[in-house]
Amino acid sequence: MKYIVHVIDPHGDTALYPFDEFSQAQKCADALKKVSSNVADYINVEPLVVNIEEAETSQDIFEIQLYWEESLFGEKVTSVRRRIHKWDCKDIKVLKSAISEWSKLKSDAEKNDWHFPNDIDWSELPSSDLPTDLDTSYPVWAMDEQGFCLVGNLDEIEHVTEVMEQIND
Protein backbone atom coordinates (compact mmCIF):
# COMPACT_ATOMS: atom_id res chain seq x y z
CA MET A 1 0.00 0.00 0.00
CA LYS A 2 1.15 3.52 -0.75
CA TYR A 3 0.13 6.67 1.10
CA ILE A 4 -0.42 10.11 -0.35
CA VAL A 5 -0.13 13.34 1.61
CA HIS A 6 -2.75 15.55 -0.01
CA VAL A 7 -2.26 19.29 0.57
CA ILE A 8 -4.64 22.08 -0.41
CA ASP A 9 -3.41 25.67 -0.07
CA PRO A 10 -5.61 28.73 0.67
CA HIS A 11 -6.07 29.33 -3.08
CA GLY A 12 -7.38 25.80 -3.67
CA ASP A 13 -4.21 24.54 -5.37
CA THR A 14 -3.42 20.90 -4.63
CA ALA A 15 -0.15 19.06 -4.13
CA LEU A 16 0.28 15.30 -3.72
CA TYR A 17 3.28 13.68 -2.02
CA PRO A 18 3.56 9.85 -2.23
CA PHE A 19 5.14 7.66 0.49
CA ASP A 20 5.69 3.92 0.80
CA GLU A 21 5.08 3.84 4.54
CA PHE A 22 2.36 5.41 6.63
CA SER A 23 4.87 6.63 9.23
CA GLN A 24 6.71 8.67 6.55
CA ALA A 25 3.45 10.17 5.35
CA GLN A 26 2.45 10.99 8.92
CA LYS A 27 5.77 12.76 9.59
CA CYS A 28 5.36 14.81 6.42
CA ALA A 29 1.75 15.70 7.27
CA ASP A 30 2.68 16.71 10.81
CA ALA A 31 5.57 18.87 9.55
CA LEU A 32 3.32 20.58 6.98
CA LYS A 33 0.64 21.23 9.59
CA LYS A 34 3.24 22.80 11.90
CA VAL A 35 4.68 25.00 9.13
CA SER A 36 1.16 25.94 8.06
CA SER A 37 0.15 26.91 11.58
CA ASN A 38 3.28 29.02 12.12
CA VAL A 39 3.04 30.79 8.77
CA ALA A 40 -0.74 31.25 8.94
CA ASP A 41 -0.44 33.04 12.30
CA TYR A 42 2.48 35.14 11.09
CA ILE A 43 1.04 36.42 7.79
CA ASN A 44 -2.68 36.02 8.56
CA VAL A 45 -3.68 33.46 5.90
CA GLU A 46 -5.79 30.35 6.04
CA PRO A 47 -3.82 27.24 7.02
CA LEU A 48 -3.12 24.40 4.62
CA VAL A 49 -5.54 21.49 4.50
CA VAL A 50 -3.44 18.35 4.96
CA ASN A 51 -4.78 14.79 4.69
CA ILE A 52 -3.25 11.34 4.31
CA GLU A 53 -4.96 9.02 1.87
CA GLU A 54 -4.33 5.43 0.91
CA ALA A 55 -3.30 5.24 -2.72
CA GLU A 56 -4.57 2.85 -5.33
CA THR A 57 -1.97 0.23 -6.13
CA SER A 58 -0.89 -0.72 -9.62
CA GLN A 59 -3.34 -3.61 -9.69
CA ASP A 60 -6.15 -1.04 -9.70
CA ILE A 61 -5.02 0.69 -12.90
CA PHE A 62 -7.96 -0.81 -14.77
CA GLU A 63 -10.40 0.67 -12.23
CA ILE A 64 -8.66 4.04 -12.43
CA GLN A 65 -8.89 3.97 -16.20
CA LEU A 66 -12.61 3.10 -16.07
CA TYR A 67 -13.24 5.89 -13.59
CA TRP A 68 -11.60 8.49 -15.83
CA GLU A 69 -13.24 7.16 -18.99
CA GLU A 70 -16.65 7.52 -17.37
CA SER A 71 -15.80 10.89 -15.84
CA LEU A 72 -14.58 12.35 -19.12
CA PHE A 73 -17.55 10.78 -20.90
CA GLY A 74 -19.82 12.60 -18.44
CA GLU A 75 -18.15 15.89 -19.31
CA LYS A 76 -18.77 15.22 -23.01
CA VAL A 77 -22.44 14.42 -22.32
CA THR A 78 -22.81 17.68 -20.40
CA SER A 79 -21.18 19.61 -23.24
CA VAL A 80 -23.49 18.13 -25.89
CA ARG A 81 -26.57 18.64 -23.71
CA ARG A 82 -25.57 22.28 -23.27
CA ARG A 83 -25.14 22.69 -27.06
CA ILE A 84 -28.64 21.31 -27.61
CA HIS A 85 -30.30 23.47 -24.94
CA LYS A 86 -28.37 26.61 -25.97
CA TRP A 87 -28.79 26.21 -29.73
CA ASP A 88 -29.09 29.71 -31.25
CA CYS A 89 -31.70 28.85 -33.93
CA LYS A 90 -29.39 30.03 -36.72
CA ASP A 91 -28.71 26.72 -38.53
CA ILE A 92 -30.81 23.58 -38.03
CA LYS A 93 -27.86 21.44 -39.16
CA VAL A 94 -25.99 22.42 -35.98
CA LEU A 95 -28.88 21.20 -33.84
CA LYS A 96 -29.27 18.00 -35.88
CA SER A 97 -25.54 17.29 -35.48
CA ALA A 98 -25.69 17.78 -31.71
CA ILE A 99 -28.73 15.49 -31.46
CA SER A 100 -26.92 12.82 -33.51
CA GLU A 101 -23.96 13.12 -31.18
CA TRP A 102 -26.29 12.80 -28.17
CA SER A 103 -27.76 9.59 -29.62
CA LYS A 104 -24.29 8.15 -30.17
CA LEU A 105 -23.26 9.02 -26.61
CA LYS A 106 -26.41 7.38 -25.27
CA SER A 107 -25.63 4.25 -27.28
CA ASP A 108 -22.02 4.25 -26.03
CA ALA A 109 -23.24 4.59 -22.44
CA GLU A 110 -25.58 1.62 -22.82
CA LYS A 111 -22.84 -0.47 -24.44
CA ASN A 112 -20.33 0.31 -21.65
CA ASP A 113 -22.86 0.22 -18.80
CA TRP A 114 -22.09 3.85 -17.93
CA HIS A 115 -24.47 6.20 -16.20
CA PHE A 116 -26.39 8.35 -18.65
CA PRO A 117 -28.45 11.32 -17.42
CA ASN A 118 -32.15 11.66 -17.95
CA ASP A 119 -32.98 12.07 -21.58
CA ILE A 120 -33.66 15.48 -23.05
CA ASP A 121 -37.27 16.60 -23.42
CA TRP A 122 -37.33 16.90 -27.20
CA SER A 123 -40.57 18.88 -27.11
CA GLU A 124 -38.67 21.67 -25.33
CA LEU A 125 -36.01 22.24 -28.01
CA PRO A 126 -35.12 25.85 -28.80
CA SER A 127 -36.80 27.02 -31.99
CA SER A 128 -37.70 30.03 -34.04
CA ASP A 129 -41.43 30.69 -33.91
CA LEU A 130 -43.37 28.16 -35.97
CA PRO A 131 -46.14 29.48 -38.23
CA THR A 132 -49.41 29.67 -36.31
CA ASP A 133 -51.25 27.72 -39.02
CA LEU A 134 -48.82 24.79 -38.87
CA ASP A 135 -50.58 21.55 -37.93
CA THR A 136 -48.61 20.23 -34.97
CA SER A 137 -49.61 16.64 -35.68
CA TYR A 138 -46.74 16.60 -38.19
CA PRO A 139 -43.56 16.03 -36.15
CA VAL A 140 -41.76 19.37 -36.37
CA TRP A 141 -39.30 19.58 -33.47
CA ALA A 142 -37.54 22.87 -34.15
CA MET A 143 -37.10 25.50 -36.85
CA ASP A 144 -34.13 27.75 -37.61
CA GLU A 145 -34.20 31.40 -38.68
CA GLN A 146 -34.23 30.46 -42.39
CA GLY A 147 -37.32 28.25 -41.98
CA PHE A 148 -35.55 24.88 -42.05
CA CYS A 149 -37.15 22.40 -39.67
CA LEU A 150 -35.99 19.33 -37.83
CA VAL A 151 -38.71 16.75 -38.49
CA GLY A 152 -39.47 13.05 -38.26
CA ASN A 153 -37.39 11.16 -35.71
CA LEU A 154 -35.12 14.18 -35.16
CA ASP A 155 -33.10 13.06 -38.18
CA GLU A 156 -34.58 14.87 -41.19
CA ILE A 157 -34.48 18.49 -42.33
CA GLU A 158 -37.24 20.06 -44.42
CA HIS A 159 -38.08 23.66 -45.17
CA VAL A 160 -41.28 24.88 -43.53
CA THR A 161 -42.91 25.33 -46.97
CA GLU A 162 -42.33 21.61 -47.69
CA VAL A 163 -43.79 20.74 -44.30
CA MET A 164 -46.90 22.87 -44.99
CA GLU A 165 -47.31 21.28 -48.44
CA GLN A 166 -47.13 17.75 -46.98
CA ILE A 167 -49.67 18.60 -44.32
CA ASN A 168 -52.05 20.09 -46.90
CA ASP A 169 -51.77 17.02 -49.21
User: Rounded to an integer, what is the distance from CA 19 to the centroid of its chain?
Assistant: 33
7 torsion bin: left (phi>0), alpha (psi -120 to 50), beta (else): beta
* Environment class of 34 (CB within 10 Å of its CB; exposed 0-12, middle 13-18, buried 19+): exposed
Same domain for 89 and 37: no
Residues 71 and 9 in one domain: no
Q: Which amino acid is at 55?
A: A
Q: Read off the pLDDT of residues 7-63 as tens digits, 9 standing for 90 and up.
A: 887 778 888 888 888 999 999 989 888 888 776 665 566 777 888 888 765 545 667
**Does residue 84 share a domain with residue 119?**
yes
Domain tally for the chain?
2
If asked whether residues 96 and 131 sit together in one domain, one would say: yes
Total residues found in the chain within this entry = 169
pTM for this model (two decimals)? 0.65
128 lies in the same domain as 46: no
One domain for residues 38 and 77: no
Q: Give pLDDT tens digits for 133-151.
A: 888 778 899 999 999 999 9
Domain span at 33: 2-55
3-class SS at 126? Answer: coil
